[in-house]
Amino acid sequence: MVIDAVNTQIKREAQIFTPEGHHIPALDKDKDTLPKLFVDTAKKYWGKIAMRKKRLGIWQEYTWEESYQKVHDLALGLMSLGLQRGEKVAIIGENDPEFYWAEYATHSVGAISTAIFTDANPQELSYVITNSEAVILFAHDQEQCDKALELRDKLPNIRKVIYWEERGMWSYDDDWLMSFDELLALGQEYAKTHPNAFLNSVAQGNGEDIAIFSYTSGTTSLPKAAMVRHRNLIYANVHTQQIIKTYQTDNYLSFSPLAWITEQSLGVAAHVLYGFQVNFPESPETVQTDLREIAPTALLFPSRIWENLARTMQMRVNDSSWINRLLYMLFMPVAYRVIDLEDKGKPIPFMTKFLRGIAEWAILQPLRDKIGMVRMRNAFTSGSVLSPDVLRFFRAVGVELRSLYGSTEMQGVTMHYPNRIKLASVGEIMPGVEIKIAENREIRVRSRAIFAGYYKAEEKTAEAFDEDGFFKTGDAGYIGADGHLIYLDRVSDMIELSNGESFSPQFIEGRLKFSPYIQDVMTIGGFDMAFVTAIVIIDFDNVSRWAEKNRVNFTTYVDLTQKPQVYDIIRKEIQRVNEDLPEAARIRKFVILHKAFDADEAELTRTRKLRRKALEQRYGMMIDAMYTDKDEVLVSAEVKYRDGRTGVVETAVRVMDV
């Protein structure tokens, strides 16, 4: 989105916006922490199902009574290990009931939990544990325990590593390691001599206590530990509840990383607030199958998952029978027509409604069934801004996907209200939230969900707030006349070209990632660059299927990326997006990278956001080639063959004009 196009809509003096017609009451002191809510909700729904986890293909159910007993015993076990109020506990692992129980038990003791991304490498794990000063580590399985053992000499503060998946751990003989069951037994013994210790500890909690350390994504520097209070997590949910209702009978799918603040809010905190059932898939590889079996009413996926899902659905339609493809071609335009009219607030003609009804029966309901969303009521996307094309696609299919705008420090700030979705926006301001648009277009936020500050970083905390107590997000945007927040990009990422015009990389990248053939993309420009270029990552699964279908022979990922036919289909996708962009923001040249961006190589954050400066440095030769009229760049690439062998090949990455 070119900034000049919106300049007339933005007043240059700071403005403050608040939603109207909502009253957010103060919290009851008997329900102002997650443990207090957990105890209250467990007693209320004692015999009802609280959680389900698929293990070895079978759904295992846990009632609120069982959850309560697990948390009770774990908390007392932690007490017996000497865990004190205010100390920190780190947790690394997949989404499991044990992860939730470990967090609730930690909070019940008055300690602070720190969730770590499952795919964190040893260096990242060491950084978070050391920076947070954690004294206990919960680790999922053998892989995570091996990481901890590798780092043992660097983690002198860790008293115990407690694992909950025992497979592969039977041969380990180390007092530093303890199984989940051993900790439960320790708590049961402790309860015999301290029968009221659990409830007494829960009662000591206060809404102002720090509940979690949530680490920022670290796109520009080392991640910082945002200190989030119990009341911050609770108020964030209360704000959301004013817009959409959550019920005890709801089914929630917990899949997004628990190291992500949004999953902590909508999963861990909301579970004890509303008592709904949380479902955990067996593994990331089975999530699509498990999702269809569950057919949840609510879930949260980061934007990348929604983008992948949209690409997969489109490719499956392309690979389906001719009759299904024909029905899709006939009825999807009707579904899009309805969505576009709703987006503009215009009435829908009777015949269009009638055809939409046929479309629902013919293709839309079967499509939703394939992705497990036949009962979906509250579908959320957060993280990177989702392309309007992807939002439009899911709405056309019948999934009312809602954007949540927020961050680690402030949780949810805006959201699409029911029946008031505007595709180009990230929603309207939530009740209880104030937004200030500063003179430099920066979005600033004030609410009772705002974090307490950065741990051991008082100067960074002071810099994060302005003189009126508004958190400075670092994001650029504006509030439209209809009250919707239009997100532009990071203030620091807004790029000005040599001709004086500006563009938003994220806006263009989001439109391109709607393509079934593009997994990721980084757009490039700058004051010394006359036009916009792009580095494209192909979606290997979809492009390889396309190649096989069109008889394009290839041997490896690297080989496929440089095929002329692949460059041609990517060029067409870029031309499609260019048609809707102002002249200055159109991509003129691109390369297809010989590898995917990798978080382990510090090219992405663990939330899969681009580390732009690192990428610009690593692929500087390619960027230079696109601005110096070169036809190709010679690079070395590591390849992995089907028999497991690896090798290094030199390949020429082509530079193509659009």
Comparing 649 with 296, which gets the higher pLDDT?
296
Of 3, 17, 13, 12, the C-alpha closest to 445 is 17
In the numeric block, the tokens 């992807």 are attached to: 390
Q: What contacts 22, CB < 8 A, 6 or more positions away?
A: 242, 431, 432
Same domain, 535 and 622: yes
Burial 62-84 (b: 16+ CB within 10 A, else e): bbbebbbbbbbbbbbbbbbbebe
User: What is the helix, strand, coil percentage profile of the chain, to 5?
Assistant: 40, 25, 35
101: three-class secondary structure by DSSP: helix
* pLDDT of the residue at 1: 40
Same domain, 184 and 293: yes
Expressed as residue numbers, the domain containing 616 is 494-657
Q: Across the beta sheet with 587-592, what order do the strands follow? A: 518-524, 532-538, 587-592, 656-657
Digit-coded pLDDT (tens) for 230-286: 999 999 999 999 999 999 999 999 999 999 999 999 999 999 999 999 999 998 888
| Overall number of domains in the chain | 3
Same domain, 113 and 12: no
* pLDDT of the residue at 358: 93
Same domain, 276 and 307: no
Same domain, 362 and 346: yes
Q: What is the pTM of this model?
A: 0.85
Same domain, 176 and 82: yes
Comparing 136 with 171, which gets the higher pLDDT?
136
| Residues 564, 397: Cα–Cα separation, whole Å | 34
Domain ends where: 268, 297, 326? 297
321: three-class secondary structure by DSSP: coil
Domain ends where: 281, 297, 313? 297
Same domain, 186 and 248: yes
Domain ends where: 274, 297, 320? 297
* pLDDT of the residue at 58: 92
Q: What contacts 231, CB < 8 A, 6 or more positions away?
A: 27, 32, 207, 208, 448
Digit-coded pLDDT (tens) for 499-511: 666 777 888 888 8
Same domain, 429 and 528: no
**For residue 524, what is the domain's CATH number?**
3.30.300.30
Q: Which band of pLDDT confidence, cut at 50, 70 and 90, is reported for residue 64? A: very high
162: three-class secondary structure by DSSP: strand
Same domain, 422 and 482: yes
**For residue 449, what is the domain's CATH number?**
2.30.38.10
**For residue 192, what is the domain's CATH number?**
3.40.50.12780
Same domain, 12 and 123: no
Same domain, 250 and 357: no
Digit-coded pLDDT (tens) for 261-272: 999 999 999 999
Same domain, 63 and 127: yes
Q: Which two tokens stand for residue 639?
A: 């390849």
* pLDDT of the residue at 311: 84
Residue 301 CA, chain-centre distance (Å), reads 6
Whether the per-residue pLDDT at 348 is higher than 60: the answer is yes
Q: Which band of pLDDT confidence, cut at 50, 70 and 90, is reported for residue 389? A: confident
The average confidence (pLDDT) of the chain is 89
